[in-house]
Amino acid sequence: MTDDGAAAGPPPAVGAQVVHATSVAIDGRGVLLRGPSGCGKSELALCLIDAGARLIADDVSLVWADGAAAVVGGPPEQHGCLSLDDVGLLELPAVASAPLALVVDLVPGGPAAAGKPTAGWGEATTAQLAGIRIASFVADPHLPSTSAKIRAVLRRMLPPSGAGEP
């Protein structure tokens, strides 16, 4: 599929951090879905895409610094392709990259299973990628509400790129 306006350009030739993660863009902001093989990264991405997100990368994402911000992209040869065990390879709406706004660590059972306390709405949790701290949280990829939680967290953060002042 063709780009729907790549936000941040292609990955640099050198210096990108390879992350075992699927990534999507929601309202122009990159969301990195990290987790081990088979945990549900691609399934959750499909739910987000079905609700309007755009695929950035499936299973292997690249993160790099662009000034004080992090950017997420994917290998060009996988652009627009999402692989699901039960249906095979899907071609989906995609962008080449987006400013990375959120990291979601996928753990079946959620924060309790990961041995982490549940973060309250006022508590900031972060992950560090490409030398930059990014907002993050732990979620159960199998809960039907996880895609809604991701969108709620993004709404609570800064306005989407391109959004005007209220």
Residue with tokens 């959004």: 163
pTM of the full structure:
0.83
The average pLDDT across 2-14 equals 53
Q: What is the pLDDT of residues 40-63, one digit of tens each?
A: 999 999 999 999 999 999 999 999
Apex CA 44: angle with CA 139 and CA 96, to 5°? 110
Which of 3.40.47.10, 3.40.50.300, 3.40.50.620, 3.40.1350.10 is the CATH number of 17-156? 3.40.50.300
Q: Give the pLDDT of residue 166.
A: 36
Q: Give the pLDDT of residue 161.
A: 55
Burial of 40 (0-12, 13-18, 19+ CB in 10 A): buried
Q: Give the pLDDT of residue 128.
A: 92
**32 token code pair:** 């990195």
Domain boundaries, the chain: 17-156
**114 token code pair:** 């990961």
Instruction: List phi, psi (to 5°) of 75.
Output: -60, 130
Q: What is the pLDDT of residues 108-137, one digit of tens each?
A: 877 666 566 555 544 558 899 999 999 998
